[in-house]
Structure 1
Amino acid sequence: MKMKISCKPIAAAAALLLGGCMVGPDYHRPQVNVPATYSELPGWTQAQPADADAPKGAWWTGFNDPLLNELEPQVAVSNQTVAQDYANYQEALAEVKVARSALFPTIGVTGSGTRQRASAGSTSSSFTRSVGSGAQIVNSGSLEGNVSWDLDLWGSVRRTIEENSATAQASEATLANATLSEQIALATAVIDLRTSDANIDLLQATVKAYEHFLEVVSNQDKYGTVAPSDVVTARTQLENARASLIALGIARAQNAHAIAVLVGKNPEELNIPHSAAMPTLPTVPVGVPSTILQRRPDIATAERQMAAENATIGIAVAAYYPTVSLSALDGFTQSPLGGLLHVANYVWSLGGSATETIFDGGERSGEVAAAKANYQAAVANYRGTVLTAFEDVENDLSGLRILAEQADALDTAVRDATHGTEIAFNEYQAGTVDYTTVATAQATQLADQQTALSVQQSRLLDAASLIGDLGGGWSDSQLHDPRNPDKPPAQPAAASAASAPAAQTSSATGQGAQPAVQ
């Protein structure tokens, strides 16, 4: 086959067209109102270590919990929600390849052969054979190369690539957001599990104390020095504590099952032993509000979706302009088949076509209006996502500040309640108060201890939530450009890390400043 279509002119024309006109608006990220600082931060002291020294990718190490350190890396590998979003991202990357293919001509080769019965005298060749009654069998064939090319004069294909590339980046950010969300969910489940273990330890100690109290009261009852109702009260209190201890097994089992599922395991595959240690509160670098626009993957998702919708406007506008196509054919055809590749049988053709819609009843204008409306909806979603992000961080900061104050008050309350129980029991043994006073003091002590543990749990959960609401150390500079798969993502700006104050408690009391999440 003799092909006379040179690739060099095609490549030159492709380069010319790729730099040609693109109708529709070019994308510019809309401005959003960003406060200079979070309302919870004024008057607070910057944390140590600084942002540059705080954990970023492996943020969970700040909790100093071995179970978290072991399981968190497994979320990105084995969690099924993450796996689903990863598959969606791979699909989006493939769609970019599909869109890019429309920029280039389609080149094909067609070969055909025919064997047919012809009437007598219609042809003569060594490739024919008589079959009777003067009829002949004729063999014929062709071998042709063809090229077709829809020219992207108005940028419709390039806008489609823009749209699909932005959609792929939105999928990549969605994958990052899903990974972070599942990691925060795992941290939450581990904190809840550790709290259940701490509650179990507290109630076990309480049961032992109540057993001792019941033994003392029972001995006094033997000598008739106390009312029989005191024994009943002490025994009832002990049995209630035992029942509460048993009930904690439900919460612990559910938390353990949730942890297994989050790391992609069946519940029976993961055995988590009891631990007497609670996670520690990490130092959480907060940063200035403007950094949250780059640090939150859900904001990046909304921003990339906005860019994709902007590109669809250009696609819709391009429908107003003519569609121009080029085609070419080059090859050989011969009947009968003998001498197919001889120069005498060489054929070629060149062609071009242009189509333009004159009247469509308003279809194209409707498509443009719909694309613009979708873009405005994406802008509103982006700005709403940013506002929600600021709200989340402010809620976390206020929660950490208020819970720190509550924890200080509860520490005093627990000490006083414990001392009160000791005094009440001593007075009871001295015969100056009845056992109701002791029971009330014991109930107050247990309630204060459980409340203090609940506040500690809430502070840990708020710290994990703050880490998630700040992006967990992620940055939109990690997004890949699907149009340049070999080019690594841009490196984060150094200024982002240098301008990141961390959450701290106020030093207005005159005491040394302490991290708000410690």
Structure 2
Amino acid sequence: MDAKIRRPGPRRDVAGRPRGAAPVSAHGMRVLMAAAAVTLVAGCTVGPDYVRPAAPTSAAFKEARAQAAQGAPAAPIAGKWWEIYGDPVLNDLVSHVAVDNQSLAASAARMREAQLLVQEAHGAAYPQVSVGTIKSGRRNENDFGLGVSWELDLWGRIRRDVEAHRASAEASADDLAAATLSMQAQLVQAYFALRQSDAAIDLLQRSTDVATQWHRMVGNQYTQGQASSADVSDALVKLSGAQLQLADTRSARAQYEHAIAVMLGKPPAEFSLAAAPFDTQVPVIPPGVPAILLERRPDVAASERRMAAANARIGVAKAEELPSISLAAGIGVRRGPTGTADVKGPLFTGGRLDAQVKSAGEGYTEAVANYRQTVLDAYREVEDNLVATNELANVAELHAKAAAAATESDRVTQNQYKEGVADYPAVVQATNGALEAGRGELQLRLRRLDTSVNLIVALGGGWQAGGFAGSAAGRPLGPPDADLRTGP
């Protein structure tokens, strides 16, 4: 139904001459007053008000009891969580990840794009002004001038749309936080693997030197008729095996260095790390209580925000079922001011609008299930890394003693060989034993460090709600498990 507001004819004086058109007639004033009244009652917002649903939780982590029983002092997780490892080179590398990593730059662009969509949705609540061809005059003829159109947000459709886009933008900011945390963890673990490779290369180089010396000695003995060709072949096999292990470790070390370069946004050819000792100690990470994960993990926060966005879309769909009012006004060059008010209400849509409401409701149900699953996965990741931390810690002392014993045996055998008490095959055997024990101790320490990083990530790292622009800061989560409340 269209109601048109026509401009009254020009007033005339007693002589019949035009006195000029009134800019706003009495009828126009009544329309404006009616529009103002409609605007005052436009605060009605349909659809359910968002309340965060409850998620499964428990009072404490099951695997945390074993960690507490060890009695080791825990290192609190700070904002720059990687600093607990006490490596200045690592600290410098991680500080550049959020600045130079191109994958994170893409995630940041997606976040800004989502924030601009909020502005775009919010703009629909304001009158839209344009210049061009308009309809004006008593006959609604074509004219050229300034036009204004405004869709009244009677049922809160625009407000719910803004609410949905704002929640989606906050989820995008939380996604960026999660991606940043993941990239930081990848770099830290790659750095530890590189340092472990440095230590392994030292061990393998020594083993290779011993194997080379033994191969040379057996060759000389064969020339003198004191060794068989089988002895030469056996020495050659040992030497080639040692060289292959050394080559593989050097290759892996170079690949870790290349990976770190790319994480920092640099070509591998322009980045290098000098070899350094692998002496990083494994910190004890406090797990806290399960309920903290709802506030600390950015992926949980992102899932919760998507749930809020899905809830707001129900209101958007419900508002489409109700009448709408659009106002339009303009000032033409030839015909002067004009205005219209369009009132429309759906009568028959073939079930389309009802399906949209139901679809939005199912979207919210899906978002709730995804949120609860994200929480469950978060708890599982913490428990998995806690049990791995505990079990690896239990065998770490034994491996350290074995490595120390093998190193001491190697030292003693070397001295005995220099004193003529032991032969060189005993030196080779002792060196290989020390190599295997040392590599085992290095690999175990790397596994423990990787597990500690994984546990920190599972606990949310140093992220806090509001730590990134547009993230969860100040979000009223409300009481859980409240029923959906439908507006008028």
- Taking structure 2 as the reference length, what is the TM-score of the superposition? 0.80
2:46 aligns to what? 23
What per-residue deviation string (whole Å, max 9, x for no partner) do you get for residues 142-169 of structure 1?
Answer: 6644322111111110110011001101
**CA deviation string 1:24-83 (max 9, x = no partner):** 1111111011111111112516764663xx5x2221112222332121121111111101
User: Could you tell me how far 1:256 is from its partner in structure 2?
Assistant: 0.8
Supply the distance in 2 between the matched residues of 1:59 and 1:324 (Cα, whole angstroms). 55
Identity %: 38
Using the alignment, how far apart are the partners of 2:421 and 2:234 within structure 1? 18
Q: 1:337-365 deviations in whole A, cap 9, x for unaligned?
A: xxxxxxxxxx3333312111111111111
Partner amino acid, structure 2, of 1:315: V
1:330, CA displacement in angstroms? Answer: 3.8
Q: 2: distance between equivalents of 1:38 and 1:283?
A: 15
Residues in 2 aligned to 1:459 and 1:355: alpha-carbon distance in whole angstroms? 66
Kindly tell me: are residues 100 and 302 of structure 1, through their superposed partners in 2, closer, same or farther at Cα, counting changes over 3 Å? same
- After superposition, the Cα gap between the structure-2 partners of 1:480 and 1:246, relative to the gap in structure 1 and judged at 3 Å, is closer
Partner of 1:498: none
Figure out how many residues of one structure are paired with residues of the other and give that number: 443
Give yes or no for contact 2:214–2:424 (8 Å, CA) kept in 1.
no
Greater shift in the superposed pair: 86-95 or 423-432: 423-432
One-letter amino acid of the counterpart of residue 57, structure 2: V
1:448 matched residue in structure 2: 437
Residues 14 and 224 of structure 1: is their aligned pair in 2 closer, same or farther, counting only changes over 3 Å? farther
State the distance in 2 between where 1:383 and 1:175 align: 21
CA displacement 1:274-301 (0-9 Å, x = unmatched): 1123433234332211111111111111
Contact 2:74–2:283 (Cα < 8 Å) also in 1:
no
What is the aligned partner in structure 1 of residue 455 from structure 2? 466
**Which string of whole-angstrom CA distances, capped at 9 and with x for unpartnered residues, describes residues 360-400 of structure 1?**
11111111111111111111111111111111111111111
Note if contact 1:234-1:439 (Cα within 8 Å) is conserved in structure 2.
Answer: no
1:425–1:76 CA distance, 2 compared to 1 (3 A):
closer
Partners of 1:330 and 1:348 within 8 A in 2:
yes
* Counterpart in the other structure of 1:159: 160
- Say whether the 8 Å CA contact 1:195–1:278 is kept in structure 2: no
| Residues 488-507 of structure 1 mapped to structure 2, 5 A cutoff | 489-490=473-474
The answer as to 2:91 corresponding to 1:69 is yes
- Taking the aligned partners of 1:13 and 1:478, their CA distance within structure 2 comes to 42
Shift of 1:414: 2.1
Q: Does 1:84 align with 2:106?
A: yes
Deviation digits for residues 98-153 of structure 1 (CA, Å, limit 9, x no counterpart): 111111112334589xxxxxxxxxxxxxxxxxxxxxxxxxxxx9664432211111
Find the counterpart in structure 1 of residue 119 from structure 2. 97
Partner of 2:61: 38
- Of the structure 1 ranges 420-429 and 179-188, higher mean CA displacement relative to structure 2 is found in 420-429
State the alpha-carbon separation in 1 of the partners of residues 395 and 223 from structure 2.
44
Q: Which secondary structure does the structure 2 equivalent of 1:352 belong to?
A: strand
Contact between 2:74 and 2:285, CA under 8 Å: does it hold in 1? no
Q: Equivalent residue for 1:185?
A: 186
Cα–Cα, structure 1 residues 111 and 359, in superposed 2: closer, same or farther, change >3 Å? closer
Question: How far is 1:442 from its partner?
Answer: 4.4
Distance 2:161 2:474 in 1: 23
Superposition deviation, residue 216 in structure 1: 7.5
Gaps of 5+ in 1: 113-140, 335-346, 483-487, 493-518
Q: Is the 8 A contact 1:166 1:308 kept in 2?
A: yes
User: What is the correspondence of 1:352-501 to structure 2 with a 5 Å cutoff?
Assistant: 352-420=341-409, 442-478=431-467, 480=469, 489-490=473-474
Q: Which residue of 2 aligns with 1:339?
A: none
Residue correspondence of structure 1 range 102-501 to structure 2 within 5 A: 102-110=124-132, 144-210=145-211, 233-234=234-235, 236-330=237-331, 332-333=333-334, 347-420=336-409, 442-478=431-467, 480=469, 489-490=473-474
- The amino acid of 2:168's aligned partner reads T
SS at match of 1:476: coil
Task: Give the 3 Å change call, closer, same or farther, for CA 432–269 of structure 1 in structure 2.
Answer: closer
| Residue of structure 2 in register with 1:136 after alignment | none
Are the equivalent residues in 2 in contact too, given 1:194–1:279 (CA < 8 A)? no
Residue 329 of structure 1: how far off its partner (Å): 2.9
Deviation at 1:224, TM superposition (A): 8.3
Q: CA deviation at 1:327?
A: 2.1
Structure 1 residue 192, shift from structure 2 partner: 1.1
Whether the aligned pair in 1 keeps the contact of 2:75 and 2:285 (CA below 8 Å) is no
Paired amino acid for 2:122: R
Asked whether the 8 Å contact 2:196–2:446 carries over to 1, the reply is yes
Q: Is the 8 A contact 1:99 1:161 kept in 2?
A: yes
Give the Cα separation in 2 of the matches to 1:201 and 1:333: 91
Partners of 1:204 and 1:11 in 2: how far apart?
86
Tell me the SS of whatever aligns to 1:477.
coil
Deviates more, 1:409-418 or 1:297-306: 409-418
Provide the TM-score with structure 1 as the length reference.
Answer: 0.75
Structure 2: stretches of 5+ with no match in the other structure: 1-20, 135-141, 477-488
Distance, in Å, in 1 between the alignment partners of 2:216 and 2:468 is: 67
**3-state secondary structure, aligned to 2:334:** strand
Q: Distance in 1 between matches of 2:224 and 2:415?
A: 18
Task: List per-residue Cα deviations over 1:159-200 (Å, max 9, x = no partner).
Answer: 100110011011111111111111111111111111111110
CA RMSD of aligned residues (A): 3.6
**Which residue identity is paired with 2:40?**
L
